[in-house]
């Protein structure tokens, strides 16, 4: 837990949490050596797995970025955001189940949340996050808001030659209205370039190994900022979820 909330509590509070750990272990009949271990011990395995994967993907993104492997960093960055968004969905299942995107994708399995949510991908989670305002438009500063629409037109025109001008303009306009939402879609677009068949189907040209480096930097900038925003959401939801699990353990005979 300390790793999750480190951005919002001070050193004294972290030390206080450490002193409480033995008492919490006794109450919950656990043997955790840290708050992170405690969280993993009480969370359902599927939620614990997604939580841990999010941080693993983040570490891989940072390693790729350090090695200047920007395309690989985009792949890991998108996977990181997908894991955090999936985790938020699992921690807020009732709210997520009320969104249009979830209901559209659930079909006949609308009452089986796990069966639906584990079939969804990053684009679905981006749409759900937009409906629930998990990543607000204010996340991106005014300078980026002004520059991104024209940059998006350039990117789409060069990388999606079959896309109509009307659709390109719709994308560019969406960047101006909600740049955080659009940057997540951009990151997903970058990750999807890992499929070689798409280069042929969409008539892309690979001019050099650095073809995506500039836009990869933009996407990674977005990933870092959106990650911070999601961690704040994730922290509050995870704490509330764990509080409920702890109370249930303590009060159950």
214-246 exposure pattern, b = at least 16 Cβ within 10 A, e = fewer: ebbebbbebbebbbebbbebbbebbeebbeebb
Which pLDDT score, from 0 to 100, does residue 8 have?
A: 43
Exposed, middle or buried by CB within 10 Å (0-12, 13-18, 19+), for 89?
buried
What's the pTM?
A: 0.76
Angle 116-44-232 (CA atoms, 0-180°, nearest 5)?
Answer: 80
Which residue, among 33, 41, 40, has the nearest Cα to 55 in the 3D structure? 40
Stretches in the chain below the pLDDT threshold 70: 1-18, 137-145, 159-160, 179, 199, 202-212, 252-253
96-131 residue pLDDT tens: 999 999 999 998 888 899 999 999 999 999 889 989
Which pLDDT score, from 0 to 100, does residue 128 have?
A: 93
Alpha-carbon gap, residue 94 to 123, rounded angstroms: 20
Q: Which is it for the CA torsion 207, 210, 179, 239, positive or negative?
A: positive
């Amino acid at each position: 837990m300390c790793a999750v909330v480190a951005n919002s509590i001070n050193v004294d509070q972290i030390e206080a949490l450490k002193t409480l750990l033995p008492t919490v272990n006794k109450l919950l009949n656990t043997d955790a050596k840290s708050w992170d271990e405690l969280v993993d011990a009480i969370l359902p395995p599927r939620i614990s797995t997604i939580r841990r994967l999010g941080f693993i993907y983040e570490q891989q993104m940072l390693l790729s970025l350090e090695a200047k492997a920007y395309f690989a960093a985009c792949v890991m960055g998108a996977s990181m955001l997908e894991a955090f968004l999936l985790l938020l969905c699992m921690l807020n299942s009732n709210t997520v189940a009320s969104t249009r995107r979830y209901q559209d994708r659930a079909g006949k399995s609308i009452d089986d949340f796990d069966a639906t949510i584990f079939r969804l991908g990053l684009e679905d989670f981006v749409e759900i996050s937009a409906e629930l305002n998990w990543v607000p438009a204010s996340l991106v500063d005014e300078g980026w808001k002004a520059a991104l629409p024209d940059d998006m037109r350039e990117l789409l025109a060069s990388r999606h030659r079959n896309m109509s001008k009307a659709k390109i303009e719709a994308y560019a306009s969406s960047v101006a209205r909600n740049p955080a939402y659009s940057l997540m879609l951009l990151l997903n677009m970058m990750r999807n370039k890992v499929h070689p068949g798409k280069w042929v189907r969409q008539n892309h040209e690979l001019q050099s190994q650095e073809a995506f480096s500039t836009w990869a930097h933009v996407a990674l900038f977005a990933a870092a900022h959106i990650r911070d925003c999601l961690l704040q959401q994730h922290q509050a939801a995870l704490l509330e979820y764990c509080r409920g699990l702890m109370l249930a353990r303590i009060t159950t005979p």
